[in-house]
Structure 1
Amino acid sequence: MKYFEFIDPYYALIKAKDKTSACEVYERIVADEPTKPYEKTRNQALNAFLMDEDGEFSELMREFNKDGEALLLVDGGLL
């Protein structure tokens, strides 16, 4: 899996197999018309995820390492 960060119109960090899939997840869950995503390394994505999420480390790691595409982080204004 690869990791993609979207900045506009809303922030999101998405785990997906490729950029096209990441854009589809963004459009389906976050908002229409995403801007160009930036590919992040696994370590960059993990660091962002751990810095933003609260909880027990082992549970956070389980969540981050789940198989399949996932919305890992989303703009707090959408919650």
Structure 2
Amino acid sequence: MKFYEIHDPYYALIKAKDEADAERIYNEYISDTDDYENFQDDEIREVERDYALIMYSQVKGEDGELMSYTYISGTFNNPDIEVLIMDGSLL
């Protein structure tokens, strides 16, 4: 599994097989990318696993508190969870 970060039009940190899979997940859960000619080349950036884990561990839950280690490790390593972080304005 690889990790991809997208900043525009909405921020997302995604787990995917490759850039095409990352774009599919982004389209499904975050936003449509039809307006972009080269979305994979222009907007998707592969990031290291450690970077993704650090970013994910800094996300606060609905209660405004940081998530527990148990929750972070369980969800970060769960292959069924594809979107780790999404822009808060979409919630």
TM-score, scaled to structure 1? 0.92
Structure of higher RCO (CA pairs closer than 8 Å, 6+ residues apart): 1
% of aligned pairs identical?
A: 35
* Structure with greater helix share of residues: 1
The RMSD of aligned alpha carbons is 1.4
* Residue segments in structure 1 that go unaligned for 5+ positions in a row: none
Q: Describe how 1:21-40 pairs up with structure 2 within 5 A.
A: 21-33=21-33, 35=39, 36-40=43-47
Alignment-derived partner of residue 10 in structure 2: 10
Return the letter of the residue paired with 1:60.
Answer: I
Corresponding position: 1:74 with 2:90: no
- The number of residues matched between the two structures is 79
Q: Deviation of residue 29 (structure 1)?
A: 0.8
Alignment-derived partner of residue 43 in structure 1: 50
Moved >4 Å (runs of 4+): none
Once residues 20 and 78 of structure 1 are traced to their aligned partners in structure 2, the CA distance between those partners, rounded to angstroms, is 22
Structure with greater Cα Rg: 2
TM-score, scaled to structure 2? 0.80
Contact 1:49–1:72 under 8 Å retained in 2: yes
SS at match of 1:52: coil
Return the letter of the residue paired with 1:11.
Answer: Y
Alignment-derived partner of residue 61 in structure 1: 73
* Residue segments in structure 2 that go unaligned for 5+ positions in a row: 61-65
Once residues 55 and 7 of structure 1 are traced to their aligned partners in structure 2, the CA distance between those partners, rounded to angstroms, is 23
